[in-house]
Structure 1
Amino acid sequence: MLDDITVDESVLALRPDFAVLVMTAHGLDNGPTDDRSRGWLSAASDLLSAEGEEEREARAAKIEAWREAYRLFGAKPSRTRPSVDALTRRLPLPEINQAVDAYNSISVKHALPIGGEDLDRYDGPARLVRAAGDEASEESLGTPDAGEVIWRDDTGVTCRRWNWRQVARTRLTEETVNALFILERLEPMTLEELKTAGEELADLLAELSPGVRVASRLLSGGK
């Protein structure tokens, strides 16, 4: 699965600094939010509240990079916000399920867009492309605009506007056993921080599911 994931050259033409760390987790034992995952969310919220001016400026720069990327393909980031922008405005952080709580806490900690997908609900490999405008989507999300950056599989859209909102079809649920996590980076975030975030997420998944098998692959520069 990881070897088949691709980022189209047309996306890299928009933002040559884009990189994505894709991670698979097989053998998850997911479940409803519990005290442990609630603690992860609380710690991430507390981190935001305790930030000094320098940390706030660094976080704002990372989020602004995504807002600028949205404008490049015609989206209005004040109307459809990048996922990390929307998430950091929701305090206290929402409780979804243990696996989602895990990646949301890492997303907020690093000001990094992260998506979680149910691998068993995928049809073919994930790929990041510029939309033709006729891709199958869910009614609640609407059809993507031509040129919009989307994640998709063989069936159609899995996430609109780069990382704005994912479809229900591939969403992580309490029944998810095999998952795909998508960690997306733009400068000024470094590749080293991206890798660190991935390692931290893998550690949380291992806490949830001691037998989980995690693999990862970094895609950047069209590779």
Structure 2
Amino acid sequence: MLDDIWVDDAVTALRPDFAVLAMTARGLRNGPTDDRSRAWLAEAAEAARPARTDRIDAWKDAYRAFGAKPQRTRPSVDALTRRLPLPEINLVVDAYNSVSVKHALPIGGEDLDRYSGPARLVRATGDEESEEALGRPEPGEVIWRDDAGVTCRRWNWRQVARTRLTEDTTNAIFLLERLEPMTLEELKEAGEELADLLTRLTPEVRISSRLLSGGK
């Protein structure tokens, strides 16, 4: 899966500073929120500092670049940090949401077994299959998709239900998306932190990662 993920040149032309750290976690044991993940969420909420609004502002600019209005459809990390205290979903979602807020970094987490073909980040033609609740993407909109259709609209605004992480998920993919001023080193550190939390949940989990940057 990781070797086949790609980012279209039209996306990197829009934001040459874009990079994504793709991670797979196989053999997870998920479950309902517990005291561990609740503590991670609380710690992340404490770490959410106004000084990192520049990272969120970069995503708002990226949304405007393909015609979206970030005040109406907010980048995922912007929407999440406005929901403090953070929502409790399940162990794995709590883990990546806590890392997302702590680092002001959009992260998508999805059930790998519900994918059809590889993930790819493209600019939409407007005729991609999408769930009714999300609607079809607009031409030129940045979307994540697989062979079956849209998996996330407006770059990281909202994911489809089809690939949602549930308590039954055992194999997951995470997409950690970076724009400047966040550095690639800081992106890797966030990935290491997520891997650590997932390993605490499932010591035998098998984690692999791949950094895509500059259209590669």
Residue 31 (structure 2) aligns with? 31
- Give CA deviations for 1:74-126 in whole Å, capped at 9, x if unaligned: 00000000000000000100000000000000000000000001000000000
Where 1:99 maps in the other structure, the secondary structure is helix
Point out where structure 2 has 5 or more consecutive residues left out of the alignment: none
Residue equivalent to 2:6: 6
- What does 1:1-223 align with in structure 2 at a 5 Å threshold? 1-48=1-48, 51=49, 56-57=50-51, 59-223=52-216
Aligned length: 216
Output the aligned Cα RMSD.
Answer: 0.5
Deviations 1:145-174 (A, max 9, x none): 000000000000000000000000001000
User: What fraction of aligned residue pairs are identical, expressed as a percent?
Assistant: 78
Matched position secondary structure for 1:90: coil
* Alpha-carbon distance in 1 for matches of 2:16, 2:29: 37
- For residue 46 of structure 1, report the CA deviation from its aligned partner: 1.6
In structure 2, distance between residues paired with 1:22 and 1:182? 5
**Aligned-partner SS, 1:168:** coil
Helix, strand or coil at the partner of 1:222: coil
Tell me, what secondary structure is at the counterpart of 2:185?
A: helix
For 1:14, the aligned partner's letter is: L
Q: How far, CA to CA, are the matches of 2:179 and 2:47 in structure 1?
A: 22
TM-score (norm 1): 0.96
Q: Distance in 1 between matches of 2:45 and 2:58?
A: 22
CA offset at residue 47 of structure 1?
1.8
State the one-letter code of the partner of 1:74. Answer: G
Q: Distance in 1 between matches of 2:43 and 2:178?
A: 22
Could you say what secondary structure the match of 2:162 adopts? Answer: helix
| Runs (4+) off by over 4 Å | none
Q: Distance in 1 between matches of 2:165 and 2:108?
A: 9
* In structure 1, C-alpha distance between the alignment counterparts of 2:128 and 2:20, rounded to whole Å: 23
> What is the one-letter code of the residue matched to 2:178?
R
